Amino acid sequence: MSSRLRVLHAIRSDGFAGVERHVAVLARAQTQQGHAVVVIGGGADQMRPALAGSPVTWMPGQTVPKVLQGLIRAGGGADVVHAHMTAAECAAAAASYCPTRGTPLVVTRHFAGPRGSSRLGGLAAKLIVRRSDAQIAISGYVADRVEGASTVIFPGVASADLPSAEREPVVLIAQRLEAEKDTATAIEAFARSELAARGWRLRIAGDGSLRPALERQAAELGIAQSTEFLGMRTDVSELMGAAGLMLAPCAVEGLGLGVLEAMSVGLPVVASRSGGHLETLPQPAHRFCFRPGDAASAAAALRQLAADPEARGALAQQGRQRQREIFVPAAQAERTEAVYRSVIERTGA
């Protein structure tokens, strides 16, 4: 049996979106393998419940100084510091000069692009590269678009039971309502599909700065009566269990935890043919993927699947099987541990 590791995860955050969920799932899985884990960062109201029932220790990290403070307090005796996103990577790199000196630093790249668009960001990127010992990417798509070599480790999600109730004629969107998520294309696709005339509804779970504009768009397209803006929800898994289809329009999704969660409950997904979606979805689902921004193609895929319950059932089964074979927290934790131990051995920490 492998020796127990003490792991510090750092994320500069006071929210709870995809990266925070990623950290929470990985931290829980690592404790199930016997490791001692501390998570610094993430919104308290959501991170604490996400870690409830596990021995993970949580500390606030809403600012870079708070992350650094957490690393100073918890860094003694750590075997590895694992940082997520640039702000926390900066804090961890700075901490490596004193409180976590000699402790290996592993970083995970969640987004497909190089660090440091500004002069200050460029200086920070150089510091992170100099002080980090290994880099993980959440998908091949991300690994191909970030600087430096990466080990690709897919995130995992908990496998869920199939819903017992019959699915509703609902197309679900679950994401932040910000520009990079391209919810506007999804709304246009639902309008073009003309599924509203056949009794289908569009449900949008999530919130963001574009919500007023998207509500106006739905009204202008004549689907306001068939569209529900649900805001931020804590019951997204239940919404996925009740929906008939999921629409994932984002063209720059590093991987897409929402798509994985949909697969876990047997919800067929119509996704953009970009980002990490083609690495996530089963091969038969690729023919229903659409070019980013192409609302007409997305509408055609929705129409075809809405009219074919057997095809939806086949995609649901294939998605669940693929999620259970590849995208599970235990496998993510095992591969991450292998990176940790390789770095520890190489650095002599």
pLDDT attached to residue 119: 64
Question: Taking a C-beta distance cutoff of 8 angstroms, is the pair 107, 131 a contact?
Answer: no
- Model confidence at 117, pLDDT cuts 50, 70, 90, reads low
- Model confidence at 175, pLDDT cuts 50, 70, 90, reads very high
pLDDT(218) > 60? yes
pLDDT attached to residue 100: 73
List, in order, residues 6 or more apart from 106 with CB less than 8 Å away.
Answer: 80, 81, 82, 83, 132, 133, 134, 135, 136, 339, 340, 343
- Model confidence at 1, pLDDT cuts 50, 70, 90, reads very low
Alpha helices (runs of H) in 96-139, residue ranges in sequence order: 119-131
**pLDDT per residue as tens digits for the range 226-268:** 999 999 998 999 999 999 999 999 999 999 999 999 999 999 9
pLDDT(212) > 80? yes
pLDDT attached to residue 96: 84
Q: What is the largest CA-CA distance in the chain?
A: 65
- Model confidence at 115, pLDDT cuts 50, 70, 90, reads confident
- Give the containing element (helix H, strand E) for 275: none
- Of 27, 69, 74, 66, the residue nearest 47 (C-alpha): 27
The gap between the terminal CA atoms of the chain, to the nearest Å, is 20
Integer angstrom CA distances of residue 69 from 41, 202, 307 = 11, 44, 56
What share of the chain has pLDDT > 70, as a percent? Answer: 97
pLDDT(2) > 80? no
* Averaged pLDDT for residues 293-311: 98
pLDDT(296) > 70? yes
Q: What is the pTM of this model?
A: 0.92
* Averaged pLDDT for residues 88-111: 89
- Of 172, 139, 189, 142, the residue nearest 261 (C-alpha): 172
* Averaged pLDDT for residues 195-215: 97
Cα radius of gyration (the chain): 21
Q: Mean pLDDT over all residues of the chain? A: 94
What share of the chain has pLDDT > 90, as a percent? Answer: 86
List, in order, residues 6 or more apart from 283 with CB less than 8 Å away.
Answer: none
